[in-house]
Structure 1
Amino acid sequence: MTPDEYCQQKAAASGSSFYYSFLFLPQNQRRAITALYAFCREVDDVVDECQDPQIAATKLAWWRQELSSVYSGTPQHPVTQALQAASTEFNLPEEQLQEIIDGMEMDLQQSRYLDFKALSLYCYRVASVVGLLAAEIFGYQDRRTQKYAHDLGLAFQLTNIIRDVGEDARMGRIYLPMEDLQRFEVTAADILNARQTDNFQRLMAFEIERAESYYTQAIDELPASDRRAQRPGLVMAAIYRTLLGEIKRDGCRVLAQRTSLTPIRKLWIAWRTWVRG
């Protein structure tokens, strides 16, 4: 199996909505974004699947070394081998890739966020940085597209947090800012014990509105000259905004279930968004 085949298999097996935004890209861009996505999956899996924080930290340190070898030596892992070709062709900065690992390390160090400012740093590292790297792969002419990519990444991560409240709680994590919980009189115990209260529903409506505002802000910031090149992000936004709508229509029952869209629906949204340009 070649490095590109490994990355493709990793991306397809995840079932992520991101996979559908890659489908219509030219081959070289599709290879590069798939390598980037596979890297994100690998380091995210370290945190999610490793029960011992010390072992997880050791594994992330190994990935740091692998990233360094992408730029200064010969990487060993098929993902970093594929990433080496992508980083050369699309000038992907090592510092930004390392920041993704910084975000994963935050998951080992804390399971609560005091306020939205603190959460925004986490979102920046695990999602906005990915958006900035993806923008480099897709190509742009106007530097304002970087702001679009940053804010769209933030919107994606806020959507993930909303969708996964219950799943994260079962691992002892609460990403919703403590200041938001206090504002809506929801306790950490309510979330950890899956208590679907009226206050919790109001809290989730607030979080959905915040995520939606970042989608609107990001798309408004995208210069017309770069809209066609950045279509993969617009595809992803269309899929994720549809998901947010489903969560809202379903009464924000994210504590007990994980709302998702079917593959055929994701494919339909992706195709429709892509042809519209």
Structure 2
Amino acid sequence: MNFDDYCQQKAAPPGSGSYYALRQASAARQPLLTALFALRRELEETAKETSDPTVGRTKLAWWQKELAALAAGNPSHPVTKALARHLGDAGAIYPGLQALLAGFEMDFEQARYLDLPNLRRYTNGVGGTFVTLVAQASASSEAARRDAERWAAPLGTALAMAQFVPEIGNDARHGRIYIPIDELQRYNVTAADLINRRYSAEFTELMQFQTARAREGVHAALNAIPADARRDQRCLRALAALELALLDEVEREQFQVLHQQIALTPIRKLWIAWRAARRN
């Protein structure tokens, strides 16, 4: 399996939302964007699927060295080799890659967040940084690349908040709760309720609030994409549309996310991504 095939299977297997979002980018940009998605998936798996924090930190330390090797021109992992192949200057995005890794390191530092500003530190790292990297890689001019950070980081943070909603049950079973403690208290929902899959009227109200805020954040961030950048950013626009559609589906299913994984069908993902990428 070559580097690009590895990245495709890691980040965007057929039928996944990432698969359809990436297909909306230009053919020339797809290999680099797929490699970025694959790197994020590698880091996410390390952070969220490693139960022993010591092992997890060791794995992320290895990735830190591998990203430095990428910047130096001698990567060894299929994902970093793909990035080296498709990047003009790997050193130029090294600070962004470090920031992305630092975001996932937070999963081994804390599993609960006191309030929204505290949670924002995490979403800025794993969401804002990633979407900024994708936006810059998608831009067709240097001016657009420089401008991307202004609007891309808020979009990434909003998408991270949206992704928490359908994953609340799964995250809780892995010991991580991405709802601020003060908001759980406001709605009289406990961490034990989430972990033990206890539904209630209070839980529904909490989820309505989380969903409404996430949806509002994504819409606001999408509206901030400059008109002259919208064509270049078809991948991110499709990704955002898929997240919004999933929020709608979760709402239709009355927020039954503690015991099951709610998902869109592949044909719906295809249609949503295609339509979003071509909308003015």
TM-score (norm 2): 0.93
Structure 2 residue aligned with 1:182: 185
Structure 2 residue aligned with 1:228: 231
2:194 counterpart of 1:207: no
Cα deviation per residue 1:102-160 (whole Å; 9 max; x = unaligned)?
A: 11111112110001111111011111101100111110645554332112111211121
Q: Using the alignment, how far apart are the partners of 1:205 and 1:147 within structure 2?
A: 29
Structure 2 residue aligned with 1:153: 156
Name the SS for the 1:28 alignment partner.
coil
User: 2:275 aligned to 269, 272, 276, which one?
Assistant: 272
Q: Using the alignment, how far apart are the partners of 2:190 and 2:14 within structure 1?
A: 32
Structure 2 residue aligned with 1:40: 40
Superposition RMSD on alpha carbons, in Å?
A: 1.8
Name the SS for the 1:27 alignment partner.
coil
1:15 shift after superposition: 5.3
Q: Using the alignment, how far apart are the partners of 1:34 and 1:21 within structure 2?
A: 10
Residues 240-249 or 215-224, more deviating = 215-224
**Code of the aligned partner of 1:233:** L
Structure 1 residue aligned with 2:120: 120
1:92 shift after superposition: 4.8
1:89 shift after superposition: 5.6
**Code of the aligned partner of 1:46:** T
Structure 2 residue aligned with 1:30: 30
**Code of the aligned partner of 1:29:** R
**Code of the aligned partner of 1:100:** L
Name the SS for the 2:87 alignment partner.
helix
Q: Using the alignment, how far apart are the partners of 1:14 and 1:73 within structure 2?
A: 31
Q: Using the alignment, how far apart are the partners of 2:14 and 2:163 within structure 1?
A: 14
**Code of the aligned partner of 2:183:** D
Name the SS for the 2:165 alignment partner.
helix
**Code of the aligned partner of 1:211:** A
TM alignment of 1:1-277, pairs within 5 A: 1-13=1-13, 16-88=16-88, 92-139=92-139, 141-142=143-144, 144-277=147-280
1:70–1:80 contact (8 Å) kept in structure 2: yes
**Code of the aligned partner of 2:72:** S
The number of residues matched between the two structures is 277
Cα deviation per residue 1:44-79 (whole Å; 9 max; x = unaligned)?
A: 111233222111111110111000011113111111
Structure 1 residues 92, 246: CA separation in 2 closer, same or farther (over 3 Å shift)? farther
Q: Which runs of 5+ in 1 are unaligned?
A: none
1:7–1:79 contact (8 Å) kept in structure 2: yes
Structure 1 residues 49, 2: CA separation in 2 closer, same or farther (over 3 Å shift)? same
1:128–1:152 contact (8 Å) kept in structure 2: yes
1:17 shift after superposition: 1.4
Q: Using the alignment, how far apart are the partners of 1:215 and 1:251 within structure 2?
A: 21
Q: Using the alignment, how far apart are the partners of 1:237 and 1:112 within structure 2?
A: 26
